[in-house]
Amino acid sequence: MPSYTPPLRDMQFVMHELLTVCADFKAIPQHADIDAPTIDAVLEAAGKFASEVAFPLNISGDTEGCTLDHSTHAVTAPRGFKEAYAQFVADGWAGLSCDPAFGGQGLPLVVNQCLYEMLNSANQAWTMYPGLTHGAYAALRAHGTDIQKQTYLHKMGSGEWTGTMCLTEAHCGTDLGLMRTRAQLQPDGSYRISGNKIFISAGEHDLAGNIVHLVLARLSDAPAGIKGVSLFIVPKFNVNADGSLGQRNGIYCSGLEHKMGIHGNATCQITLDDAVGSLVGEPNKGMNAMFVMMNAARLGVGNQSLGLTEVAYQNALAYAKDRIQMRSLSGTKAKDKPADPIIVHPDVRKMLLTARAYAEGGRALAIYCSVLLEKEHYHPDERVRKDSGEMLSLLTPIVKAFLTDNGWIATSGCQQVFGGHGYIKDWGMEQFVRDARINMIYEGTNTIQSLDLLGRKILGNNGATLKKFGKLVAALVDEEGVNEQMAEFINPIAYLGDKIGKLTTELGFKGSQNPDEVGAAAVDYLRVAGHLVFGYFWARMAQVALRQIAAGSTDPFYQAKVQTARFYFAKLFPETASLMLSARAGSGVLMDTEAVFA
């Protein structure tokens, strides 16, 4: 059976030593009194919930899956899920970072980020039920009317009700402009909505009293394409004027998807049959509101793979220390045993270190982004809000795509550490791999994220935001450029920072002549950019650790941090060279291939 220990020490390192988040919070009035002991105490309790309540349900939930009663359209979650959710709500975790004006606790988003990393390590399928609610909550808070906010946000923030995003239809995935779901305005100002959606995570379940669906649909007079999409609140149960639940609405689960992973989460086919809905925002402007939820979901999906990377690493490490097989190439290490533990073998260490480097690098980036999100929304200085929003916009596709690609690499490698046992369900590793695979697909495939990064976020503003991140790299290079101890970390990011600027200019020119050039290079480009971002954070983490060691610390945590940084720059970062070659190879070898597909 697998195990899980919340990585509280590393979270504390990133928050308090690397990013000094409490110093940033001093400038944000509602968080000015937040201190490190408070954050640490909350996360210690959160870790106990994740490891002691959610984690024991992971394998059983995967084995049992969800059950649909076709006669009533009711979905029952696996055994224990409902009780765990009730405890989650009773303990106050649902509203941890929600607005106190709507019943939330108002803690910084960084605390919620760490809570959900631990929950994703413990049980991604279960975590998706409350996790999706945060995106729906954010969209309604940003674009809902006062009445909509009062009606829904208190119950969603408390966890009494959950939320979903209903976008996808069978004939169109990411291309939402092709959707067919229709909304008809009624004399009382409400809408009647009919259509079919698929792949709706947590679309029906028995954990909460109501489910608040945010549904994309077309008005009868809507223009064609994405410019004719509107957003609607469509609750499972209609809500009376006094806030009580009314009649069952015409939105229901008509089928459950049989999936490769996340079996414990209900991935639903949703039918809307003359369902009552209310418009969110302006007609035909639905994507403006939905992108609030989609961007939150993209950060959340990256966090899912971060959680899986961490738990897979922990279990592979424990197994590698215990499993004996063959002798070390450099001589016997365990003389009292018939063979050595497999952790002595170089390639086993490479797989373990890969997972560790991707987990710790991903954690630094994810926590940094949660601080950016906090500043974007709540910092009193307008310029800080704007800069933070621009940086977050740049990093969001990297969080979604780079972390999920890395999660697939890491969980697959950790499964490999187990050899044949990794293929057996009881060890838990094959479930981590299956669960990780979906994260590369949904909330916009990683190719879509790559096109968004290169085409919109970078070339769309002539690299202005990328240059802002480049200034962070340049400042670190200037600060540590003459420090010999930091050379192995600083020189690679200085080199890549220069090369990615030239690559961007080259791709921009080629793309202006032929847009397929951007499509051909985008996936490689995102991974190069991801390594630049990770390299920056790994260099900073090595900087902090080396300073602690120089100051006399004997804590092995710092030595491990430096050693992991050395591995990352020596074994993982160099893939950027081949990626840039591939990005420059052009679109011809992809598009001039009619004979291949004839």
pLDDT at 312: 98
- Is 1 inside any structural domain? no
Q: Which entry of 117, 390, 443, 517 is annotated as an active-site residue?
A: 443
The first and second tokens of residue 238, run together, are: 């209609």
pLDDT at 590: 97
Residues 468 and 547 in one domain: yes
List all residues 6 or more positions away from 341 whose beta carbon is below 8 Å from its beta carbon: 320, 321, 322, 323, 324, 333, 334
Please provide residue 254's backbone torsions phi and psi, each rounded to the nearest 5 degrees: -105, 0
pLDDT at 292: 83
DSSP string, 386-451: HHHHHHHHHHHHHHHHHHHHHHHHHHHHHHHHTGGGGGSGGGSHHHHHHHHHHTTTSSS-HHHHHH
The first and second tokens of residue 109, run together, are: 């988003």
Distance, C-alpha 277 to centroid of its chain: 29
Q: Are 165 and 214 in contact (CB under 8 A)?
A: yes
- The amino acid at residue 151 is T
Strand partners, 318: none
Strand partners, 201: 267
pLDDT at 516: 97
- Is 404 inside any structural domain? no
Please provide residue 245's backbone torsions phi and psi, each rounded to the nearest 5 degrees: -85, 135
- The amino acid at residue 447 is T
- Whether residue 293 has pLDDT greater than 90: no
* Strand ranges (E), 442-588: none
Residues 137 and 172 in one domain: no
Residue listed under structure tokens 């073998």: 345
Residues 114 and 166 in one domain: no
pLDDT at 290: 79
The continuous run of DSSP H or E covering 348 comes out as helix 346-378
Whole domain around residue 520: which residue ranges?
Answer: 457-589
What confidence tier does 23 reach under pLDDT thresholds 50, 70, 90? very high
List all residues 6 or more positions away from 315 whose beta carbon is below 8 Å from its beta carbon: 2, 3, 414, 427, 428, 429
pLDDT at 288: 84
**20 SS3 class:** coil
Please provide residue 19's backbone torsions phi and psi, each rounded to the nearest 5 degrees: -105, -15
DSSP string, 489-535: HHHHHHHHHHHHHHHHHHHHHHHHH-THHHHHHHHHHHHHHHHHHHH
**Mean pLDDT of all residues belonging to the chain:** 96
Residues 57 and 182 in one domain: no
Q: Are 161 and 152 in contact (CB under 8 A)?
A: yes
Residues 174 and 71 in one domain: no
List all residues 6 or more positions away from 182 whose beta carbon is below 8 Å from its beta carbon: 193, 194, 195, 217, 218, 219, 220
Of the three residues 258, 286, 314, the one that is the final residue of a domain is 286
Nearest-10 crossing angle of helices 109-143, 286-322: 160
The first and second tokens of residue 56, run together, are: 């024991």
Number of domains in the chain: 3
DSSP string, 524-582: HHHHHHHHHHHHHHHHHHHHHHHHHHHTT---HHHHHHHHHHHHIIIIITTHHHHHHHH
The first and second tokens of residue 468, run together, are: 């802002």
Let me know the angle formed at the C-alpha of 541 by 540 and 544, rounded to the nearest 5 degrees.
Answer: 85
What confidence tier does 1 reach under pLDDT thresholds 50, 70, 90? confident
pLDDT, one tens digit per residue, over 524-538 is 999 999 999 999 999
Quick one: CA dihedral 452, 456, 462, 464, positive or negative?
negative
Strand partners, 230: 217
- Is 358 inside any structural domain? no
pLDDT, one tens digit per residue, over 37-58 is 999 999 999 999 999 999 999 9
The first and second tokens of residue 516, run together, are: 């397929």
As a whole number, mean pLDDT of residues 514-519 equals: 97
End-to-end CA distance of the chain: 49
**201 SS3 class:** strand
Residues 172 and 104 in one domain: no
Q: What is the CATH number of the domain that holds 237?
A: 2.40.110.20
What confidence tier does 512 reach under pLDDT thresholds 50, 70, 90? very high
Residues 135 and 166 in one domain: no
Residues 170 and 107 in one domain: no
Let me know the angle formed at the C-alpha of 245 by 242 and 248, rounded to the nearest 5 degrees.
Answer: 140
- Is 179 inside any structural domain? yes
pLDDT, one tens digit per residue, over 356-404 is 999 999 999 999 999 999 999 999 999 999 999 999 999 999 999 999 9
Give the Cα separation of 65 and 154 in Å (integer): 30
Strand partners, 341: 324
Of the three residues 257, 286, 315, the one that is the final residue of a domain is 286
Residues 116 and 179 in one domain: no
What confidence tier does 296 reach under pLDDT thresholds 50, 70, 90? confident
What confidence tier does 174 reach under pLDDT thresholds 50, 70, 90? confident
Strand partners, 76: 67
- Whether residue 173 has pLDDT greater than 80: no
- The amino acid at residue 362 is G
Give the pTM.
Answer: 0.98
Q: Is 443 a catalytic residue?
A: yes
Residues 14 and 139 in one domain: yes
Instruction: State what percent of residues in the chain have pLDDT above 70.
Output: 100
Give the Cα separation of 210 and 435 in Å (integer): 26
Residues 84 and 186 in one domain: no
The first and second tokens of residue 145, run together, are: 């009317």
Of the three residues 143, 175, 190, the one that is the final residue of a domain is 143
- Is 216 inside any structural domain? yes
pLDDT, one tens digit per residue, over 219-270 is 999 999 989 999 999 999 999 999 999 999 999 999 999 999 999 999 999 9
Nearest Cα to Cα of residue 426 among 88, 62, 12:
62
- Is 103 inside any structural domain? yes
The first and second tokens of residue 153, run together, are: 């946000």
Residues 489 and 576 in one domain: yes
- The amino acid at residue 272 is L
pLDDT, one tens digit per residue, over 133-160 is 999 999 999 999 999 999 999 999 999 9
- Is 61 inside any structural domain? yes
- Is 335 inside any structural domain? no
Instruction: State what percent of residues in the chain have pLDDT above 90.
Output: 95
Q: What is the CATH number of the domain that holds 99?
A: 1.10.540.10
List all residues 6 or more positions away from 88 whose beta carbon is below 8 Å from its beta carbon: 49, 53, 94, 130, 159
What confidence tier does 289 reach under pLDDT thresholds 50, 70, 90? confident
**215 SS3 class:** strand
DSSP assigned state of 51 = I
- Whether residue 291 has pLDDT greater than 90: no
Q: Are 39 and 111 in contact (CB under 8 A)?
A: yes
